[in-house]
Structure formats: structure tokens, C-alpha cells
Amino acid sequence: MNFPSELRYTSDHEWIKIESGNIAVVGITDFAQGELGDIVFIEIETTGQDLGANEIFGTVEAVKTVSDLYLPVAGKVLEVNEALKDSPELVNSDPYGNGWMIKMELANVADIDALMDAETYKSSIGQ
């Protein structure tokens, strides 16, 4: 299982990475995609919305379950990964690369510091 050290993690199994300035990319972890199984659909209809930390920004549907997606920190959803409309399985095959879910503008970049680093996340899931 992969836990990139440059990312920050949430207890809800989302990851976030600062792309530049106050713009960040968000997705779900390798652990989360493994627990969900084959992902068949992703619904994110919050583009342009300002959301608080831990608010739902979308859902991910796997063969046997649907799970909410939670924003790691407060900010505005700027963009959804359009490739996921036709290829939601990218989240299974490349959760930290082509399987990213949204780009967001952070309300406060310092909020990232409160999230887990890779080692803390890894131990939180018993790895």
C-alpha cells in the first residue's frame, strides 16, 4: 500500500496536496479505494461552492456501497477531474495521480498543518 509523504491525510481517508500557492488537489487514499473495491461512479456537483472542513463535496460509488467524500479543509471547489466521468476506475488504479478528484482554493493554507502526515495516517489504519 502506498502512502506518499508529500501528502496530508484525513481520518475519512482523503488526501490533499498543495499544488501552488493556495490551490490544492484532493482525492481518496489507496487504503480507501482498496476498502471500497471496484469504483463505478463518482458524483461531484459542488464546483464553485465554498465548503467548510469535513463537509461533503461528493460521493463515490463502488459495486456494493456508496461513500461520501469529505473536504479535508475549508475552501472553494474549483475543478472536478473530468476523466473520472468516463473512467472512475482511475481512482482504483492511480489514486494519487490520474485518480485525483477535485482542485480547490484553500480558505487558509495553514489548515493543512492540522491534518495527518503519512506516518500518522499509516498507523491510524493499522499499517
- Write the pLDDT tens digit of every residue in 83-102: 999 999 999 999 999 999 99
- 83-87 long-range contacts (CB < 8 A, ≥24 apart) are 84/42, 85/42
Task: Please say whether the beta carbons of 93 and 99 come within 8 A.
Answer: yes
Distances in Å between the Cα of 127 and the Cα atoms of 8, 25, 54, 55, 114 are: 16, 24, 24, 27, 21
Beta bridge partners of 69: 58
Residue entry with cell 475519512: 12
- Write the pLDDT tens digit of every residue in 108-118: 999 999 999 99
Domains, in order of start, for the chain: 8-107 (2.40.50.100)
- For the question of whether the overall pTM of this predicted structure is more than 0.75, the answer is yes
Cα radius of gyration (the chain)? 13
